[in-house]
Structure 1
């Protein structure tokens, strides 16, 4: 393996080389599982590029700014990520729910309005999966979406090159803010810088921003081992809502559901250490967006701000789980397009 040679040459640490070797075997098995006739060529091509970019970053680490704009040249990291994740998706068993709402969002963006997507979060590959499902119908949304991202995706050597291809607002999540007490002040200062960047973006308008109010990836129920959207943090959701409303630019809030955990499931437990094991598989995935949700309508009968904040968070979470359950029926219960109902209309725009 090339990784072992680079360890001998002193260019890679043993743990990164081990992670790369594990990633190669898992990626190869998943792509071969797809049945694509050119699977071996895809694996060789994509893993060669991934290895080169990871090694390049290890030797000359890229430093992410609070607001990172996707690096598209001289090397296109966005397309690198798309090409790498694409063969992991079983498009015959993948679905988009309520695709007309993505066109509705595009109209808002053209008018200079902001879009906030409140979403569950399942894998490191979520940004690429969303973009792959929308690339034919809504390429502007696919490429311009800004993801509020935790520090792990901008510090893990095996993840950094993929993150470089996305528009990111880099933050330290509450789950990891206090991992090292000596770094709390630095992390807090970094979050303040990112907050200022976010305020500026919202004031400029025409932004579409994705945030996971849970503060991390969904994990399976310890008893049933089934995945489900992790509960939302009402304060995180409310902070984003208030920032949008105080920006002076019209903002629209949409609940978004993602189902894609089998492509790259997270570790069963939240880890403090960087360098998690990455299991991969070829599988169907889905994304679905609910109707725009209005804070004033949801909180009309609440008696105080705290009650209103909680009511809004629960309403968004309910919409996300409702969309998620439809995707689950389509993919895991094999109902396909027949899983559609009066609230969720499933489609496969790449097959039309």
Structure 2
């Protein structure tokens, strides 16, 4: 906690905000209080967890904590008009699915903060498919309590403790049933990262790029959407925010990773939905179709990620826009 405090303080001071000291003291006072409470009175997450907003507003707490880490003047949103298109689908009772890469524990807050002015409904109502680590780590739990979550055990950590593997599989089955019920109700926005974990830099080049998708996980999601009895739309979403809260270099089994934070630009981008029948029309077998569809979504995420990379880390800003990714800046950057 002491290390986290100093890292957070240094990051917020990087912003040059004249109120940086007050922001640090206010946010860290609340954060440390909630983290301590998470140890003294452990909160148990249900398979489907709805964001807690009272008597303590955990959603607002998470937004306030991450906001000072984002350099909004160097942050970008790709194809904001498509987010507005999604809102029309939701109004008609249809479902929207984001197939995304995953960069940091701050991903949900970054997505919500970059969309809070232009698309507040999406910003606040996304349901995130979350791995067990974000609901068991005491430093992470208070932030997770402020999000809508479908809680699953990641394949990467399924056998960390062999005697718990069967329990984890049963829990995942319950979560899938909850997801199916939610989709049947319609008007749901669900975010899932089919890679099963956070992106990591290439050890040789130290360059960040979206981790490969797991075709089976993605196909399971698609089948749930198709069988819901409600129209569903699947969109590829790219996010770039690793600098504000990077994960450890390697996947760790133990809970309690070191938290590094910094002040940096971030970005998200969405592309037109990818239709399964269209993308797999020439495939000869179900397995080929599964792999082809997964690759089509992954390729779109990578293309968008490259544009965000060029805009943020390449210093090109809005000029990084392409014919398929039109960048704009989040409105709060003008405040």
Same fold by TM (over 0.5)? yes
Q: 1:184 aligns with which of 128, 140, 165?
A: 165
Structure 1's consecutive aligned runs of 4 or more residues displaced over 2 angstroms after TM superposition are: none
Q: Does 1:268 align with 2:249?
A: yes
Question: How far is the alpha carbon of 1:349 from its aligned partner?
Answer: 3.4
Matched residue SS, 1:165: coil
Equivalent of residue 204 in structure 1, options 174, 185, 200: 185
In structure 1, distance between residues paired with 2:259 and 2:330: 29
Could you tell me whether the CA contact under 8 Å between 2:75 and 2:330 is conserved in 1? Answer: no
| Cα distance in 1 between the residues matched to 2:308 and 2:106 | 18
1:221 pairs, out of 185, 199, 202, with 202
Taking only aligned residues, the RMSD between alpha carbons, in angstroms, comes to: 0.6
Distance 2:320 2:186 in 1: 36
Please say if 1:170 is aligned against 2:151: yes
Distance in 2, Cα, partners of 1:119 & 1:37: 35
Could you say which residue in structure 1 is the equivalent of 2:289? 308
- Unmatched tracts of structure 1, length 5 or more: 1-19
- Unpaired runs of at least 5, structure 2: none
Q: Does 1:67 align with 2:52?
A: no
Task: Give the corresponding residue for 2:130.
Answer: 149
The partner residue of 2:63 within 72, 78, 82 is 82
State the TM-score, normalized to the length of structure 2.
0.99
Structure 1, residues 255-310: CA drift from partner, whole Å, max 9, x if none? 00000000000000000000000100000000000111100001000001000000
Task: Give distance in 1, aligned partners of 2:163 and 2:16.
Answer: 49
Number of matched pairs: 333
Separation in 1, partners of 2:216, 2:225? 14
The CA deviation at 1:118 is 0.2
Aligned counterpart in structure 2 of residue 249 of structure 1, from 214, 230, 239: 230
For residues 222 and 44 of structure 2, the distance between their equivalents in structure 1, rounded to whole angstroms, comes to: 29
Match of 2:24 among 25, 39, 43: 43
Quick one: distance in 2 between partners of 1:187 and 1:51? 30
Separation in structure 1 between the aligned mates of residue 180 and residue 159 of structure 2, nearest angstrom: 25
Deviation for aligned residue 1:223: 0.3
CA distance in structure 2 between the partners assigned to 1:149 and 1:38 by the alignment: 33
Partner of 2:116: 135
Hey, what's the Cα distance between the residues in 1 that align with 2:306 and 2:330? 20
Q: Within 2, Cα distance between the matches of 1:338 and 1:192? A: 46
Report how far residue 325 of structure 1 moved.
0.2
